[in-house]
Structure 1
Amino acid sequence: MRFTDKCVVILGGNAGIGLAAARQFAAEGARLALTGRNAETLHAAAEELGALAVRADMGDVGQTRAALGEIEAALGGIDVLFVNAGVGGFAMAPDVTEAFWDEIHTVNLRGAFFAIQQALPLMRDGGAIVITGSIGSVAAVPGNVAYAAAKAGLRAMARIVAKELLPRRIRVNLISPGPTDTEIFKRDATPEAIAGMKAMFAEVVPLGRMGTAEEVASAALFLASAEAAFINGVDLYVDGGCLELG
């Protein structure tokens, strides 16, 4: 019960890693607020967990501002902010359009930064911010240039914000997942394609399988908890050894 009576806000808490984290935070006593773009999955998560749900697209700074205002009115200050919302997409460098680049960066970097900026007045001193990055910010994966650039920028931003927040004792850390078995991975794919991708990742990941949303979420909870009180500004790879052993 590491989060009893703590106010935990998860931006992008209606599916995948965010939903897995929401379930774990709720099981440990947190008072939860969730945001997301999909009203149906957001409502279902709120019903399941007894959480406050506010529909908001993190790519829209105005929507994030309004959502945080609603959260403040309902729950008060924030103890833990988990910035998990994000979008993906692959394109080789010659095929990247301005619209494609902007779509990814508007959510993954610009949206994440301004969400943190707007949440800071609501954060209680001694709190924690956890951000979902990606091993793509370090790994040189062909076709991943736009996404990797956004996540690399996010990593740099997080470390600077962590240093600026030292006087308030608010820790800022990232989790960077490797190949993870979530619904996004399965979206619009046939069972045969999913099986093929899982087999491919089993060859790539040193541990021989994809990670689960729950495993990544557990790392987020650790960094948000008092157990990580002496950990600040890190990028924690949750990737089955891809970067260090691959």
Structure 2
Amino acid sequence: MENFKDKLVVITGGNSGIGYATAKEFKSQGATVVITGKRENALDQASKELDVYHKLTDQRNLSQIDDLVAYINDSLGKVDVLFINAGVAFFTPLAYTSEEHFDTMVDVNFKGSFFTLQKFLPVLNDGASVVFLSSGNTALAMENSAVYSASKSAVSHLAKIAAKELAPRKIRVNIVSPGPTDTEMQTKFGMDQQVLSAMKTQIISQVPLAKMGVPQDVAKMVAYLSDNAKSSFITGGDFFIDGGMAL
């Protein structure tokens, strides 16, 4: 089904994990897709595999976001779907959270998300869809996640305010909040394989459906929320894709 034929979709952080799966989903439905990332080799490889456009962009760098918007506007035109997906996570106790980790998470997850939306406003079509990636952690008080959870909670609240502000343009803004999802990001937590495996087992024990999610679970929800034929009356929603973990 080519539900997004002749539609332009932009996905930040699209070279791996949820972003990659979402780019693949939109591409399969006929969209023209642009992905971003800050790892040049990974971005080039993903672009080739997916057969999509790409632009090297660090979401915390506002001038690079400006360059991204200019590139899209000059080369591809107005945007129909914007998935603000790029993010970063570090999990450490309060007592051991460094200023560097604090600044990185706030700059990428919240500041970067805010200014990505702001700078894309002039190139979003009226009636466009914006989806923010938040986190199931926003519904939990999980140890070792204070800064990450706070930065994602800020994203969720930003999205709800944006949904009200952009409603006059019929731009719908929604949130997807994944729970434990098996992605490449989990290998970046600074833990060895044995610790990661033990962590996954412990997490799964807290999920009513007794499994971890996969990136495709989130990708299909993003596509649904971006399809005006299916979700035209949905805005400001926060959709938890977590196997019931937040219950």
Aligned to 1:211: 213
- Larger CA deviation: 234-243 vs 201-210: 201-210
Q: CA deviation at 1:119?
A: 0.4
Aligned to 1:152: 153
Aligned to 1:198: 200
Partner of 1:114, secondary structure, is helix
**Contact persistence 1:83–1:112 (CA under 8 A):** yes
Aligned to 2:237: 234
- Larger CA deviation: 42-51 vs 74-83: 42-51
Partner of 2:209, secondary structure, is coil
Aligned to 1:186: 187
Partner of 2:205, secondary structure, is helix
- Larger CA deviation: 225-234 vs 123-132: 225-234
Specify which of 213, 222, 225 is matched with residue 223 of structure 1.
225
Aligned to 1:66: 67
Calculate the TM-score normalised by the size of structure 2: 0.95
| Matched letter for residue 215 of structure 1 | D
Measured in 1, the distance between the counterparts of 2:237 and 2:123 equals: 23
Calculate the TM-score normalised by the size of structure 1: 0.95
Q: CA deviation at 1:196?
A: 2.5
Q: CA RMSD in A?
A: 1.3
Q: CA deviation at 1:18?
A: 0.1
Measured in 2, the distance between the counterparts of 1:169 and 1:210 equals: 35
- Larger CA deviation: 62-71 vs 92-101: 92-101
- Larger CA deviation: 94-103 vs 218-227: 94-103
| Number of residue pairs the alignment of both structures matches | 244
Q: Does 1:52 align with 2:53?
A: yes
Matches within 5 A, 1:1-246: 1-187=2-188, 190-226=192-228, 227-244=230-247
Q: CA deviation at 1:106?
A: 0.3
Partner of 1:181, secondary structure, is coil
Q: CA deviation at 1:123?
A: 0.2
Q: CA deviation at 1:191?
A: 4.4
**Contact persistence 1:173–1:233 (CA under 8 A):** yes
Partner of 2:219, secondary structure, is helix
Partner of 1:180, secondary structure, is coil
Q: CA deviation at 1:145?
A: 0.6
Q: CA deviation at 1:214?
A: 0.8
Measured in 2, the distance between the counterparts of 1:161 and 1:198 equals: 34
Measured in 2, the distance between the counterparts of 1:193 and 1:5 equals: 46
Q: Deviations over 1:4-58 (max 9, x none)?
A: 1100000111100000000000000000111101111111121122211100100
Gaps in structure 1 of 5+ consecutive residues: none
Partner of 2:104, secondary structure, is helix
- Larger CA deviation: 13-22 vs 39-48: 39-48
**Contact persistence 1:198–1:209 (CA under 8 A):** no
Gaps in structure 2 of 5+ consecutive residues: none
Q: CA deviation at 1:190?
A: 4.6
